[in-house]
Amino acid sequence: MAIETETIHHDHSGEPGHGGHHAHLEHPRHQSQFDTMDQQKDASGLGMWVFLIQEIMFFGGMFIAYLVYRNRYFGTFGYASEEALRTFLGACNTLVLICSSLTMALAVNAAQRGHRKSLMRFIVATWLLGAVFLGIKTIEYSEKYERREVPGANFCFEPTGTPCSNVGAKEDLFPMLKRWAGGNFGHPPSPNPEVAAPDSQPNAGATGSESHGTQAGSNIQLPESSERERSLPGAEIYFSLYFALTGTHALHMIVGMGIMFWLFKNAKNGVYNETYYTPIENFGLYWHFVDIVWIYLFPLFYLIDLHAVKP
Amino acid sequence: MSPAVSDVVVTEQYVMPEEHYINSDTSLKSWLLTVDHKRIAILYMLTITFFFFIGGFMASLVRLELLTPAGDLLESDTYNRAFSMHGVMMIFFFLVPSVPATLGNFLVPLMVGARDLAFPRINLLSWYIFLVGASFAVSAMVLGGVDTGWTFYTPFSTTFSNSNVILTAVGILIAGFASIFTGLNFIVTVHRMRAPGMSWFRLPLFIWSQYAASLIMVLGTPVIAITLALVALERGFHIGIFDPKLGGDPILFQHMFWFYSHPAVYIMILPGMGVISEVIPAFAHKRIFGYKAVAYSSIAIAVFGFLVWAHHMFIAGISIYAALVFSLVSFIVAIPSAIKVFNWSATLYKGSIRWNTPMLYAFGFIGLFTIGGLTGLFLASLGLDVHLTETYFIVAHFHYVMVGGMVLAYLCGIHFWWPKMTGRMYPELPAKLSALLVFVGFNLTFMPQFILGYLGMPRRYHAYPPEWQVFNVLSSAGASILAIGFLMPMIYLVWSLKYGKIAGPNPWQATGLEWETSSPPPTHNFLEQPIVTSEPYNYGPKEGEV
Amino acid sequence: MSDHQHDHQHDQHTDHHDTVHHVGHVITYVIVFFALVVGTLGTYLAAKVDMGAFNAPVALIIATTKAFLVILFFMHVKDSSRLTKTVVAGGIFWLCILLTLTMTDFLSRVWH
């Protein structure tokens, strides 16, 4: 147990540069529960790492789902990846994220050296690169929406590789949002209501007191669009995982970019210097972690098997 | 042993300290925006007590329905919702936060000799996150509840259920992050905030068990968060992840669910074991037997607890080869628990035992936890599990661990540290009476359920064949005694806030840093930085020992 | 914690790993950055080649190498305390528990 010696001995570190035992208490960023700034910094760093462990397991839940279904639908995953994902865009995004990781590392470096101006510049650069990434992601997502590759009632992925028809079940974004706002998730209004009715009967009869309004729509057996049923088995799972993983990843980036505003404001006000830069450093850890997730998502979704034979 | 050791613990006249964490600022705002770990512990305690009684109310509905073989009080659908809400409330909103968020929050900084947890604001945030998650679950309940059981098995939860699955799942997901933040705070505090001289093997065993439970919170909870998020997405938007109709595998859900939810039972029981490890030496007035074994067994439980989850799925259709492995490891995880029980028993040997309420609860814990643990071995055996799973045997088994173990440990800890938290003693006589009622009521409630389960009564049905009625009546009768046992502390503990005898700093003559400061402690816990010079549980003759 | 001695005379408040080598770090970052770019291009090009069963392992090995570069250098784990290294290793280990133990089931039974 070597780790504890440091915590115990922090008192005798003596503060030579500050001439006085209570010098550390005068640091404006010192929090009262810590004895020294060193202890505070160590604790924050450890806390950040523990948080990242939590993040690993959070993504891990989706990675195990990926692993299971990748084994089950080996050919389909490769085929869907080859058909639907644009490897070039994925590679571009990987490069963009790597660049943003570099600027983030340099931002931390600048903060450690107390270079306020270059810290601000690197934060802005990281933010912009993040925005580029999300921009490219938006292009990819909207393409998939157009091609009805978003999982759900609209989903369609023809085994033949021919594009799906753009009529019938496809619902525009705005009516869909309106429908969700009304608590009616799940499926778009059927163009042919008589088809839906018999399907919903057996379930609705199964229980006496039900449907208290909130999820009225979700308990009904869906009238599947026949195109969805004809879709390649496992393809919808591939796209569900694709959207779940890349969506969670994008969400982490959006959160990170929000935090960057706060960091930038503080950096501008000169909060960070050689003696205090923990938030920058911890945010750097977070940003690099998000980068690592993408480093895995790129091969797993874009590159897994470009030479797959059609299943 | 020394004559000071007797049942009557407070013999001197003490006065309350002038200023302490409760009276330092009495405005409501100072409570709602507090970053003091002790106040947050109190906030948590009030919140989870509320959920305990909601869950208890649901349990009484279940027991009332089962008085008669016919399903006459509740319809099957309402019954499903009653036992589901009982499980959800009790597990996610009472048991998981119970000891860590109340006693843990209160005691971890005190025991390691720190002024506060490492991240006090995150601690407060955790309570608010818990409230948000809880309000989701409560609104789900108000809107009609959830009928999936607390396990949310797919595809029932994602496709067929007609209840508020999404709201409940999101509530649990959010509350999970409260738990993660609590665990994160404890881990960092134990690593980085220990007082001078407080080396790892001088830490109280309560800290070791909290630390182990925190590891599980941080490593396991995110998996259930993402699992329930996927369930909510699949139910809301009918994407295909677990739905067999779209090529998914519901068993994958069970894997992901139990990856957290099995270790989660150790989140619930480990802190309880920590409480017992404090109380037994204090009331036997004896050093704990095998300190390092107990400490390491906490860590071992946390690690092995992650390797056994599929024993919940033996009949779900998993591979028999995998089932064999999981069955074997499940037996191994019993070893560290047994180590603890043996060490507690050995600590009692030739101790000068005082029969105060916490000790009564601790004795109850050892007995009931042993029964719960041993019946767990029955269920870990592949063949027997096929017969017993999904029957009342399972219900009895985990109630023996969770109520007989955890809730008793929680009450034990509340009574033990009540003088520290409030500065006043609880009244001993009604407390002993309620401990007795809880013990008797509990056994009467759940012992018949072992028999019912062995006879084949399945869980989660509101009607049953008449020949099982006698056991069900016994069980419901026990439940009403149990309810009285749980209600009594509410009354006398509140009473003691005003009329209880003033406790003084260390009414039990116990060891540990928390007993070296005043009761209730000042806002920053210690008036001067404590320095640890002696081994833990330094009971008995002091000279010649250290 | 072993490198605690480095900065005693310099500055108590700054991180003990990073105070010692300011300029060196920028070069390290840039080198690591170019390694990552090369890895990305490499994995992109490797995926274009039909290697049969080896495409996936190659892609994953490159990804893991890149991830470790980021962890060790960008996230400073190389110069961190033993505790930090333990935490990182623990996280990866627990992810492996989740992945492998679940797969013991799926790989040893017939599905459907």
Contacts 24+ apart (CB under 8 A), A179-186: A183/A213, A183/A214, A183/A215, A183/A216, A183/A217, A184/A216, A184/A217, A185/A215, A185/A217, A185/A218, A185/B235, A185/B236, A185/B237, A186/A153, A186/A217, A186/A218, A186/A220, A186/A222, A186/B236, A186/B237, A186/B238
Contact: C44, A91; criterion CB under 8 Å: yes
Quick one: which of B539, B532, B540, B538 has its CA closest to B200?
A: B532
Q: 10 Å Cβ neighbour count for B24?
A: 15
Residue C54 reports pLDDT greater than 90: no
Averaged pLDDT, B240-253? 89
Residue A57 reports pLDDT greater than 90: yes
**pLDDT at position C11:** 37
Question: B 112-151 residues with CB below 8 A of A?
Answer: 114-120, 122, 143-144
- Enclosing domain of residue B290: 35-516
**pLDDT at position C73:** 93
**pLDDT at position A189:** 52
Range of weakest confidence among A285-289, B205-209, C10-14: C10-14
Confidence band (pLDDT; 50, 70, 90) for A33? confident
What tens digit of pLDDT does each residue of A247-276 get?
Answer: 999 999 999 999 999 999 999 999 998 889
**pLDDT at position B218:** 96
Burial class (CB in 10 A: 0-12, 13-18, 19+), A18: middle
**pLDDT at position B10:** 67
Does B93 reach chain C within 8 Å, measured CB to CB?
A: no
CA distances from A295 to A66, B227, B426 (A): 15, 23, 58
| Token couple for B199 | 């080396």
**pLDDT at position A310:** 61
- CA within 13 Å, CB half, B144: 18
3-class DSSP assignment, residue B424: strand
CA distance C76 to chain A (A): 9
Top pLDDT among A23 and A28 is at A28
Which chain C residue shows the shortest CA-CA distance from A36? C13
Q: Answer yes or no: are the C-beta atoms of B24 and B511 closer than 8 Å.
A: no
Residue A191 reports pLDDT greater than 70: no
**pLDDT at position A188:** 52
Mean pLDDT of all residues belonging to chain C: 80
Listed by start position, the domains of chain C span: 2-80, 82-112
Mean pLDDT of all residues belonging to chain A: 78
Dist. CA B438–CA C103, nearest whole Å: 43
Burial class (CB in 10 A: 0-12, 13-18, 19+), C27: exposed
Does C56 reach chain A within 8 Å, measured CB to CB?
A: yes
Q: Answer yes or no: are the C-beta atoms of B421 and B36 closer than 8 Å.
A: no
Confidence band (pLDDT; 50, 70, 90) for B285? very high
Averaged pLDDT, B353-367? 96
Q: What percent of chain B has pLDDT over 90?
A: 87
Residue B334 reports pLDDT greater than 60: yes
Averaged pLDDT, B75-97? 95
CA distance B191 to chain C (A): 9
Q: Which residues of C touch B (CB under 8 A)?
A: 83, 90-91, 94, 97-98, 101-102, 104-109, 111
Residue C18 reports pLDDT greater than 60: no
**pLDDT at position A44:** 94
Which residues of chain B are within 8 Å of residue A182 when distances are taken between CB atoms?
A: none
Confidence band (pLDDT; 50, 70, 90) for A229? confident
Give residues with Cβ within 8 angstroms of A174, minimum separation 6.
Answer: none
Which chain A residue shows the shortest CA-CA distance from C26? A106
**pLDDT at position C50:** 85
**pLDDT at position A200:** 37
Top pLDDT among B120 and A36 is at B120
Chain-centroid distance of CA A18 in Å reads 44
| The residue type at C94 | W
Range of weakest confidence among A215-219, A293-297, B186-190, B247-251: A215-219
Top pLDDT among C14 and C72 is at C72
Phi and psi at residue B239, to the nearest 5° = -80, 160
Range of weakest confidence among A212-226, B322-336, B432-446, C69-83: A212-226
Averaged pLDDT, A87-96? 94
Q: Is the peptide bond before B222 cis (omega within 30 degrees of 0)?
A: no
Residue C53 reports pLDDT greater than 60: yes
Chains that touch B (3 or more CB pairs under 8 A): A, C
Q: Structural domain tally of chain B?
A: 1
Domains and CATH numbers, chain A: 60-187+225-311 (1.20.120.80)
| Cβ pairs A/C, distance under 8 A | 164
Closest partner residue to B118 (CB to CB) among A33, A54, A72 is: A33
Residue B252 reports pLDDT greater than 60: yes
Question: Would you say residue B545 lies in a domain?
Answer: no
Q: Answer yes or no: are the C-beta atoms of B105 and B182 closer than 8 Å.
A: yes
CATH code of the domain covering residue B73: 1.20.210.10
**Which ipTM was obtained for this model?**
0.93
Dist. CA B201–CA B210, nearest whole Å: 15
Averaged pLDDT, B364-393? 94
Burial class (CB in 10 A: 0-12, 13-18, 19+), A39: buried
Residue A3 reports pLDDT greater than 80: no
Chain-centroid distance of CA A284 in Å reads 16
Confidence band (pLDDT; 50, 70, 90) for A309? low
Closest partner residue to C105 (CB to CB) among B191, B306, B322 is: B322
Q: Answer yes or no: are the C-beta atoms of A302 and A90 closer than 8 Å.
A: yes
Phi-psi region of A20 (alpha: psi -120 to 50; beta: other; left: phi over 0): left
Averaged pLDDT, A63-71? 94
3-class DSSP assignment, residue B458: strand
